[in-house]
């Protein structure tokens, strides 16, 4: 394992508001991987809602805030492919014609990673000490998959979880229909997409479904729950950090 590293956690607004456990699971995993973790207070949002709504000016303002808040750390890690992708790929694009800001954006982008790919590709982790007696299937969140190449890394770590059997999800790479503002603007289309995703998940017969992005997970959990499904929905970090006993699954009642 490489030497100690100073990591800043990019919490993401959804984790902050809806499921802090994911944040704590990320911290635990990062500490196990030899990192010290800090959480810059001045972070709020990565700016995706503004960016994807065509509001470049506000996206830039938020991006500058993020760049400033995360200055000086060895790495910036987010338990979300879409937020990490926003910083890594889209911040440089935002500042493409502003050389000074572009340089800062590129500098931040180079140090920013999605959580599981950071653990495997940068910290060299190939197993975790965790136990979870379940069959689970895995949904590949789009940004992580296509912007950041997150595919094998979660599967590799999940394979080391004691008692866990992974079964591949047909259509794992098909979008679940969340898409941030999309599910609000085009709710019927979003519903169709998440209905199909829920049907695919149910058809695997797995006890649980995992993914690396809370937006997808809230969407999928909401649909499975509405259909009366007993499939457990969790963020992959909770499983890898062996914290599944500490918090109920998403949209599930307290035990």
CA dihedral (209, 215, 221, 223) positive or negative: negative
Stretch that binds another protein, among 118-126, 127-135, 149-157, 242-250 (CB under 8 A): 242-250
Q: Which of 31, 61, 163, 205 binds another protein (CB under 8 A)?
A: 61
Stretch that binds another protein, among 109-117, 128-136, 149-157, 214-222 (CB under 8 A): 214-222
Q: Which of residues 23-42 bind another protein (CB under 8 A)?
A: 23-24, 39, 41-42
What are 169-173's contacts with CB under 8 Å, separation 24+?
A: 169/137, 169/138, 169/139, 169/200, 169/201, 169/204, 169/206, 169/209, 170/200, 170/203, 170/204, 171/196, 171/197, 171/200, 172/137, 172/138, 172/139, 172/140, 173/140, 173/142, 173/145
Does position 102 interact with another protein (CB under 8 A)? The reply is no
Does position 58 interact with another protein (CB under 8 A)? The reply is yes
CB nearer another protein, residue 118 or residue 178: 178
Size of the site for another protein (CB under 8 A): 72
The minimum distance between CB 123 and another protein, in angstroms, equals: 21
Does position 4 interact with another protein (CB under 8 A)? The reply is no
**Two tokens at 198?**
């829920």
Per-position x/- string for 160-189, each x denoting binding to another protein as judged by CB under 8 A, each - no binding: -----------x-xxx-xxxxxxxxxxxxx
Helix (H) or strand (E) segment spanning residue 38: strand 35-38
Q: φ and ψ at 201, to 5 degrees?
A: -65, -45
Does position 245 interact with another protein (CB under 8 A)? The reply is no
Stretch that binds another protein, among 43-51, 101-109, 116-124, 158-166 (CB under 8 A): 43-51
CB nearer another protein, residue 208 or residue 250: 250
Does position 146 interact with another protein (CB under 8 A)? The reply is yes
Q: φ and ψ at 22, to 5 degrees?
A: -65, -40
Does position 112 interact with another protein (CB under 8 A)? The reply is no
Q: Which of 142, 158, 172, 201 binds another protein (CB under 8 A)?
A: 142
**Two tokens at 83?**
């937020």
47: left (phi over 0), alpha (psi -120 to 50) or beta: left
CB nearer another protein, residue 1 or residue 255: 255
Does position 154 interact with another protein (CB under 8 A)? The reply is no
CA distance 172 to 175: 8
CB nearer another protein, residue 12 or residue 153: 12
Does position 45 interact with another protein (CB under 8 A)? The reply is yes
b vs e for 26-50, b when ≥16 Cβ sit within 10 Å of the residue's Cβ? Answer: bbbbbebbebebeebeebebbbbeb
Q: Which of 98, 124, 162, 192 binds another protein (CB under 8 A)?
A: 192
């Amino acid at each position: 394992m490489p030497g100690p590293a100073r990591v800043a956690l990019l919490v993401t607004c959804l984790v902050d508001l809806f499921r802090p456990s994911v944040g704590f699971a990320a911290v635990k995993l990062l500490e196990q991987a030899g990192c010290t973790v800090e959480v810059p207070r001045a972070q709020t949002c990565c700016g995706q809602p503004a960016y994807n709504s065509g509001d470049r000016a506000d996206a830039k303002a938020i991006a500058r805030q993020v760049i400033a808040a995360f200055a000086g750390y060895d790495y910036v890690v987010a338990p979300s492919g879409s937020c990490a992708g926003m910083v890594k790929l889209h911040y440089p694009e935002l500042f493409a014609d502003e050389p000074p800001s572009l340089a800062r954006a590129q500098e931040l982008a180079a140090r920013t990673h999605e959580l599981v790919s950071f653990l495997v590709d940068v910290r060299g982790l190939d197993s975790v000490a965790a136990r979870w007696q379940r069959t689970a299937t895995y949904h590949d969140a789009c940004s992580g998959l296509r912007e950041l190449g997150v595919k094998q890394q979660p599967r590799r770590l999940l394979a080391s979880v004691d008692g866990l059997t992974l079964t591949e999800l047909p259509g794992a790479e098909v979008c679940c229909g969340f898409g941030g503002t999309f599910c609000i603007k085009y709710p019927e289309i979003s519903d169709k997409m998440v209905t199909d995703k829920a049907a695919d998940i149910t058809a695997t017969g797995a006890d649980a479904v995992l993914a690396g992005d809370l937006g997808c997970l809230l969407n999928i959990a909401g649909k499975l729950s509405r259909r009366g499904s007993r499939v457990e929905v969790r963020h992959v970090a909770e499983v890898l950090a062996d914290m599944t006993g500490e918090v109920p699954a998403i949209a599930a009642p307290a035990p």
